[in-house]
Structure formats: C-alpha cells, structure tokens
Amino acid sequence: MKQPCEKIGNHVIYLNQVYYIAYAGGQRELAKKDQKEYDKAMAMPWGIQRKELEKLGFDKNPNVIPITGRNLMAFIRELKFVPIFDVYFNQSHLMQITDAIIYESIIQQSYKIALQK
C-alpha cells in the first residue's frame, strides 16, 4: 500500500512520518530527565559531544521540533514558509524553515554581493 505523500522540489514528504525542524529561535522545553541528558552531552568535549548528541537523537534535542508530515505541509502552506532541506534529508528528516519574505531578502542580498565583485 502506497503511503500518502507530497513533493516539495526533489523531496518527498510522507504525511504520516515524523520530520524535524531545526529551531534557532530558542529552545523547546524537554522533560527534566531528557534535559539533564542533553546538558550532560553539551558539557563534554566537542568530539565526544557530537557522538553523545547523535545517540540522544532529535527527540531529545531542544533545538529541534518534531512534526508530522501532514502538519508540516499545512504549516508551510498556511504561513508561506520556505523549507531549507538538510543535505541528508532523506535519512535525517531534518530541515529549517524561513519566512518567504526573509528568504527573498537573503537571495537579493546574495545577488548584490555577487555583482559587487
């Protein structure tokens, strides 16, 4: 049986799967135990820290918001957000989203900088 899905560019969003939005605007609240594990991992040296954070996964990362594909698509459509996909999106299900106005502004600034050279 085929899973319900929608396409955004080259990426397929399965409506029943969980995706993760990288959240730069602060941190979501975690359960105390999960927050303690995250804080402990963040206090470790960089190399070990990356491995520990990988073990914890996105569900225990306060900088990432889990969302279903169906809710994600509604969110993108209604609020006119532009998704920015992780390089390994098909495996990680990780993306960022930005307001379309901000995204256009970033592109325009990039063109201005490129033309100045």
pTM assigned to the model: 0.73
Looking at the fold, whether 4 and 55 belong to one and the same domain comes out as no
| Segment holding 105, helix H or strand E | helix 100-116
Per-residue tokens: 66: 């889990």
Q: Hey, CA dihedral for 98, 104, 109, 115, is it positive or negative?
A: positive
Indicate the average pLDDT of the chain.
85
Domain count, the chain: 2
How far is Cα 71 from Cα 29, in angstroms, rounded to an integer?
20
**Exposure of 34 by Cβ count < 10 A (0-12 exposed, 13-18 middle, 19+ buried)?**
middle
100 pLDDT more than 70: no
State whether 55 and 78 are in the same domain.
no
- pLDDT over threshold 80, residue 114: no
How many whole angstroms separate alpha carbon 64 and alpha carbon 67? Answer: 10
Amino acid (1-letter code) at residue 42: M
Question: What is the tens place of the pLDDT at every residue in 5-45?
Answer: 999 989 999 999 999 988 766 678 889 999 999 999 999 99
Are residues 113 and 100 part of one domain? yes
Q: Name the residue range of residue 88's domain.
A: 1-23+64-117
